[in-house]
Structure 1
Amino acid sequence: MPAAPDAACPVLTLAHGRQPETDLEVKRSHFLARAARTDTEAEARALIAEVRAEHPTARHHCSAFIIGVPGAQPVERSNDDGEPSGTAGQPILEVLRGTGLVGVSVVVTRYFGGTLLGTGGLVRAYSQAAAQALDAARRARLVTRYLWDVRVPVAEAGRLEAELRSVPRDVALAVEETVWGATHAVLMLSTDSPDADALTALLASVSQGTAVPQAAGSRLIEQPC
């Protein structure tokens, strides 16, 4: 799972789904690059294997990824895949670091064009290829929503749900779901803060003090940038 952000500082990442593949030509060598959302090391390595399978005749599939770890520093890895040490994977990783993105992998596939580029040329080419792929990719931010269960009598649930759905947008309250039982219903709410005070006061005002929120964890939602 990606690292959980706090509400004031969302994690920047890429949107789920296939991203564009870019093509950089340098002295007849082609550097095909793709960035992708990868929330775990396993997903990152699966992406590298997928790209390798799509381009089986290419000489090199160089890569880097940054994976968020809850409560710890992100995991960073890079691979030169046969290119001279430090000329491919590390430059890709440096470009990725510079974006501030987490939960992202970049794979750059090189089709050799017959002309040696030298170490400096390789660093520039892999850096530029990575930057092009990241610029072309659709970005997103991960925001924490805090979940609350509110148990109310069935006779009151419909009215309370309607009132809560009409709360002004600046309150940042959402009714996620209502689960109906024989005598009681549970309103599942979400807020952008773990502080229950404001929600408790709001519920008290619309239920004459009978509706009380119970913390029910949190989840990450993806929002486009």
Structure 2
Amino acid sequence: MLTVARGEQPEIDLEVKRSHFLGRACRADSEEEARAFIASVRARYPDARHHCHAFIVGRPGAQAAATVERSSDDGEPPGTAGQPMLEVLRGSGLGCTVVVVTRYFGGTLLGAGGLVRAYSEATARALEACSRVRMTTRHLWEVRVPVAEAGRLEAGLRARGEQRPGESAAPAGIGVEGTTWGASEAVLLVSSDDADAAALAALVSSLTRGRACPAPAGTRVLELPAD
């Protein structure tokens, strides 16, 4: 899933007939985080007439029903701010993101069409200005082997993980996250892109002559810079 990087993001200032539309996007992993950001913008600009917003939140891998979408015109004519902002956010492909556009009225009425265009453009510019990351779910597995065999197994797994797609039948995106050493047994924490353990199990079996098998150990969400 593509989303906004954590931390402060740039604010854009769109001027339309002396009205200023200040737009800023922020990472929000929950509705509570989204509403906290909206409240922070209101506190930053308490004298502004409108603080219109839109957000889409929901964790990677969650059911579709767990995704929450909300928008608000915040006093602007119905349908001229929040919904257009949400449409732009949807079109961006970003999840876990909230956008707030604060308007300072310039004395000239823009009409419904003008407001839709202004709020849509301010949202698009705010999203374009922000840094982005891609959230990737990694599946974790524990592999237990005698201490004497751990080094060879780790080397074999790392070698397969470094091969390019199509060069072998190794599981996609395989990696060794670390090794825990005991007196007689070592536990390798292995990660892969695939939730199906079949390919990884076959690889581990071939590297250990059938003496080890991966056991599920949960998942981990990584945030990688977007291309």
Structure 1 residues 184-212: Cα deviation after superposition (integer angstroms, max 9, x where no partner): 12100011111212111211222222221
Is the partner of 1:122 in helix, strand or coil? helix
Map 1:133-144 → 2, pairs under 5 A: 133-144=126-137
Give the equivalent residue in structure 2 for 1:4: none
State which of 4, 19, 23 in structure 2 corresponds to 1:29: 19
- Paired residues in the alignment total 215
- Please say if 1:218 is aligned against 2:210: no
Per the TM alignment, residue 219 of structure 1 is displaced from its structure 2 partner at its CA by: 2.4
Give the equivalent residue in structure 2 for 1:110: 103
- Give distance in 1, aligned partners of 2:9 and 2:75: 25
Give the equivalent residue in structure 2 for 1:79: 72
Q: Cα gap change, 1:169/1:41 in structure 2, threshold over 3 Å: closer, same or farther?
A: farther
Which deviates further from its counterpart, 53-62 or 18-27? 53-62
- Give distance in 2, aligned partners of 1:82 and 1:179: 58
Per the TM alignment, residue 119 of structure 1 is displaced from its structure 2 partner at its CA by: 1.8
Corresponding letter in the other structure for 1:78: S
Give the equivalent residue in structure 2 for 1:50: 40
- Give distance in 2, aligned partners of 1:112 and 1:150: 63
Per the TM alignment, residue 94 of structure 1 is displaced from its structure 2 partner at its CA by: 1.2
- Please say if 1:39 is aligned against 2:6: no
Per the TM alignment, residue 156 of structure 1 is displaced from its structure 2 partner at its CA by: 2.1
- Please say if 1:130 is aligned against 2:146: no
- Give distance in 2, aligned partners of 1:169 and 1:89: 47
Corresponding letter in the other structure for 1:194: A
Segments of 5+ residues of structure 1 without an aligned counterpart are 1-10
Corresponding letter in the other structure for 2:191: S
Segments of 5+ residues of structure 2 without an aligned counterpart are 165-169
Per the TM alignment, residue 218 of structure 1 is displaced from its structure 2 partner at its CA by: 1.9
- Cα RMSD between the aligned structures? 1.6
Give the equivalent residue in structure 1 for 2:90: 97
Give the equivalent residue in structure 1 for 2:3: 13
- Give distance in 2, aligned partners of 1:17 and 1:176: 27
Is the partner of 2:2 in helix, strand or coil? strand
Identity of aligned residues (%): 64
Map 1:189-200 → 2, pairs under 5 A: 189-200=190-201
Per the TM alignment, residue 48 of structure 1 is displaced from its structure 2 partner at its CA by: 0.5
- Give distance in 2, aligned partners of 1:85 and 1:169: 55
Is the partner of 1:166 in helix, strand or coil? helix
Per the TM alignment, residue 111 of structure 1 is displaced from its structure 2 partner at its CA by: 1.5
Per the TM alignment, residue 29 of structure 1 is displaced from its structure 2 partner at its CA by: 1.2
- Give distance in 2, aligned partners of 1:32 and 1:110: 6
TM-score (norm 1): 0.89
- Give distance in 1, aligned partners of 2:163 and 2:30: 34
- Give distance in 2, aligned partners of 1:183 and 1:165: 22
- Give distance in 2, aligned partners of 1:131 and 1:212: 49
Give the equivalent residue in structure 1 for 2:138: 145
- Please say if 1:121 is aligned against 2:111: no
TM-score (norm 2): 0.88
Per the TM alignment, residue 72 of structure 1 is displaced from its structure 2 partner at its CA by: 2.6
Corresponding letter in the other structure for 2:37: L
Structure 1 residues 111-156: Cα deviation after superposition (integer angstroms, max 9, x where no partner): 1222222222111111110011111122222222111000112222
